[in-house]
Amino acid sequence: MPVAPQVHKIDQNYFILCSNTLEIKGKLIGELSVAHDITREQTMFMAMVQSSSVASLLVIMIISGAIAFYISRSLRPLRQVSRMTEVISVSDLGKAQLYFQNAPSEVKELAQTCNQMLMRLSESWEKERQFVSNISHELRTPLTIVHGYLQSVLRRRQNLTETQIEGLETAALEAENTIQMLEDLLELARADSGYLHYKMQPCVLNDLVAEIVGMANQHSDRQIVIQAEANPIEVKLDYQYMKQILLNLIDNAVKYSDDGTPITLKLKQQGTQAIMQVCDRGYGIPLQQQSRVFERFYRVDEARNRAGGTGLGLSIVKTLVEGMGGNITVRSKLEEGSVFQVVFPVFS
């Protein structure tokens, strides 16, 4: 019975063994088996298989490392693009440029396209800003004239009926609100284009707060209380703009709270920070809308805002505070009240 060649391991040695029948002239005369010792060849073969698998593993590891390094090196500029685009704001759209020296050509092309897009965005933002500024300017003059006429007609009210007086008063109020909105828009446009100049000078906040609260108390029958530390707190800022900021916050506190509820202006120093808080016990602002009240034209609840207002006051306040190196935040609870906090570094 023929046996195909097979390798057998006997003790520590390897043999190749095969056998076949032996026939001479068609006559079966026996069986021939051959065994050959291949221990040396087999050991060499196994050593070769082992070393080539180690070598292939090493080659695979080196190639994978090289690919990972190449991919991370190619993606580095993209990470840079994402970091840069994260910090680009409306004000520096025109100046923002992405530039890569050692990047693949595809990434350089992407950066170029991004730069062109930033340029187009900057141009259209500039056009929009210019348009708002022109419109506000063009509308303010005729509206001021209309408002003047309405006021002079209202002064001669003895010739008018009750209904006419009511209509004229509504028209005059709406004209006044619109003029205020146009002035706010002009101020924001000036701030956006960097035309607001802050006359920064050291001033004692305690005096400024006392003066503003005095002014506010004269114009409204709501009592505003000051809670301030005795030691004077000195801060470097523009006196007029700071007045505008506090008057705006006090005006809001009066508008968005019921008559008879207290309004407090707190002033304190914490380390190197001067902290001013305008606190009311009014309607409050829902948590999810608190970060949005500083956006342009954002108003929390139209029904509550019938008192008048444009939704621009707080965005002007924020622009002015940040323009003078401070920051403003709000903490509020619905139906309990709000605290608008303005912080400036103390002048030393």
Burial of 176 (0-12, 13-18, 19+ CB in 10 A): middle
265, 250 Cβ separation under 8 angstroms: yes
**Rounded least distance, CB 312 to ligand ADP, Å:** 6
Burial of 251 (0-12, 13-18, 19+ CB in 10 A): middle
265 is a site residue for ligand ADP (CB under 6 A): no
**Rounded least distance, CB 268 to ligand ADP, Å:** 20
246 is a site residue for ligand ADP (CB under 6 A): no
> For residues 267 and 69, what is the distance between their CA atoms, to the nearest angstrom?
56
**Rounded least distance, CB 180 to ligand ADP, Å:** 9
Please choose, out of 118-126, 141-149, 212-220, 291-299, the segment that lies near ligand ADP by the rule CB under 6 A: 291-299
Which lies closer to ligand ADP via its Cβ, residue 133 or residue 310?
A: 310
> For residues 311 and 102, what is the distance between their CA atoms, to the nearest angstrom?
48
293 is a site residue for ligand ADP (CB under 6 A): yes
How many residues form the binding site for ligand ADP (CB under 6 A)? Answer: 21
> For residues 312 and 301, what is the distance between their CA atoms, to the nearest angstrom?
14
**Rounded least distance, CB 205 to ligand ADP, Å:** 21
Q: Contacts with ligand ADP in 296-315 (CB under 6 A)?
A: 298-301, 305, 309-314
77 is a site residue for ligand ADP (CB under 6 A): no
Which lies closer to ligand ADP via its Cβ, residue 104 or residue 309?
A: 309
Name the residue whose CB lies closest to ligand ADP.
309
> For residues 182 and 103, what is the distance between their CA atoms, to the nearest angstrom?
48
Task: Find, among 189, 151, 142, the residue nearest to 171 by Cα.
Answer: 151
**Rounded least distance, CB 299 to ligand ADP, Å:** 3
338 is a site residue for ligand ADP (CB under 6 A): yes
**Rounded least distance, CB 342 to ligand ADP, Å:** 13
SS3 (DSSP) at 252 = helix
Of these, 253, 274, 320, 324, which contacts ligand ADP (CB under 6 A)?
253
37, 31 Cβ separation under 8 angstroms: no
Which lies closer to ligand ADP via its Cβ, residue 233 or residue 253?
A: 253
Secondary structure (DSSP) of 35-56: EEE-HHHHHHHHHHHHHHHHHH
**Rounded least distance, CB 244 to ligand ADP, Å:** 12
Torsions phi, psi for 318 (to 5 deg): -65, -45
Residues that bind ligand ADP (CB under 6 A): 252-253, 256, 280, 282-285, 293, 298-301, 305, 309-314, 338
